[in-house]
Structure 1
Amino acid sequence: MGDSKKAVVLIAEGSEEMEAVITIDVLRRAGVNVTVAGLKDNGPVKCSRDVVLVPDASLTDALKSGPYDAVILPGGLGGSKLFCESAEVGKLLKEQEASDRIIGAICAAPTALKSHGIGLGKSITSYPGVGDHLSDSYKYLEDKVVISGKLVTSRGPGTAFDFGLALAGLLAGKEKADAVAKGLLLL
């Protein structure tokens, strides 16, 4: 389809590989054009459980192909910390929010939303261990996936399929997301 939606999934040293790969895979099955962007460069990235992922492009180069319909941050404490500290990630998230486009964050990655002042006051969820850090700035929920406007958050590796399918529903439509879920034997 010519009007395929575009998403960028950021990865950094210490990103949670299941959350990254499952989200990328589910979105690609739904027909979303996904770019995997390395925070530092386009070299191999060692994730939280020592799985090495190779991004399609560096974040700097990936942004030249923007804007994206969705910007997605997988969790993992190390990767999330790097997202929190990155001015480039902050700028991207602020532009995404200002343009009313989708932002997704799972596990510890919602901490980067708070660091960059994104979605303050909205309903979100995260990995339980970082919930206390977020509850002063957001309406904190414990659902598997929380959609608040164009902000999509989720809890952790075990909810990565739910997260990916929620994003697929927003980007490709519920019918397409349901077809992907059925093909994955999730429905």
Structure 2
Amino acid sequence: MLKKICLPAMLGLMLSLPGHAADAGKRVLLVVASYKVKASEYTDTRAALEKAGNKIVVASTGLDPAWTDTSLQIKPDLKIADAKAGDYDAVAIIGGEGSALELWDDAPLHQLVQNAARADKIVAAICMAPGALAKAGLLKGKNATAYPLQSAFGVLKAGGATYLEQRVVVDGKIVTGRNPEAGPEFGATLAALLASR
């Protein structure tokens, strides 16, 4: 025999089910360069985050589609300069050669990740992109990884980081990934950290 459930209790039960507001995922800002983005790092990271129920927003230096190393084009939702760290639970920078050429010295990106770190958000970067975190001053005294090229790990060391040859490195609320092959693990690590908060 079924018991009657009062409306408030039923609403509470519904909100606790997957896909409902109480179980809604966190908001993650994925940052990409406007060109030479590593497609697999973007798709693997995004897939792992979305599988865990997180909402993805994409930022770039402009609003034109970002070009990758494949036929994939990534349509940004907003410019990096217009992004506010407080709107997101995590900011993750996707790598590729374009991240070194365009994002390492991008002042709006530096301000964004600095604000995110100050607000106790998760800040992450993969492959060539950790150089942007180093140049923003976020890796001083931190363990981190990056693509195994002198230009990539050299900028980490110059920024005061201890370079580790690991696929994914977590140091507090900063996550770095080593190379494209680390994309699925990088995304899954971010998803797990977001779920624990």
Give TM-score scaled by structure 1 length: 0.84
Q: Cα deviations across residues 126-167 of structure 1 (Å, max 9, x unaligned)?
A: 110122332341111111110000000011111100000000
Q: Cα deviations across residues 42-98 of structure 1 (Å, max 9, x unaligned)?
A: x2111234532222333345x258421100001112223311121110110110111
CA distance in 2, matches of 1:30, 1:52: 24
User: Which residue of structure 2 aligns with residue 105 of structure 1?
Assistant: 125
Query: Does 2:161 match 1:138?
Result: yes
1:173 positional shift? 4.1
Q: Which has the larger radius of gyration?
A: 2
CA distance in 2, matches of 1:127, 1:5: 28
- Secondary structure of the structure 2 residue equivalent to 1:121: coil
User: Which residue of structure 2 aligns with residue 152 of structure 1?
Assistant: 175
Gaps of 5+ in 2: 1-19
Query: Does 2:29 match 1:8?
Result: yes
CA distance in 2, matches of 1:10, 1:151: 15
Indicate conservation of the 8 Å contact 2:25/2:52, yes or no.
no
1:39 to 56, 61, 67: 61
2:78 to 42, 57, 60: 57
- Secondary structure of the structure 1 residue equivalent to 2:185: helix
Q: Which runs of 4+ in 1 moved over 6 A?
A: none
AA partner of residue 25 (structure 1): A
Indicate conservation of the 8 Å contact 1:15/1:80, yes or no.
no
Query: Does 2:56 match 1:29?
Result: no
Indicate conservation of the 8 Å contact 2:145/2:164, yes or no.
yes
Gaps of 5+ in 1: 175-187
Indicate conservation of the 8 Å contact 1:17/1:49, yes or no.
yes
Number of matched residues?
172
Indicate conservation of the 8 Å contact 1:10/1:72, yes or no.
yes
- Secondary structure of the structure 2 residue equivalent to 1:146: strand
User: Which residue of structure 1 aligns with residue 93 of structure 2?
Assistant: 73
CA distance in 1, matches of 2:86, 2:55: 12
AA partner of residue 148 (structure 1): D
RMSD over equivalenced CA pairs, Å: 2.0
User: Which residue of structure 1 aligns with residue 10 of structure 2?
Assistant: none
Identity of aligned residues (%): 34
Indicate conservation of the 8 Å contact 2:31/2:60, yes or no.
yes
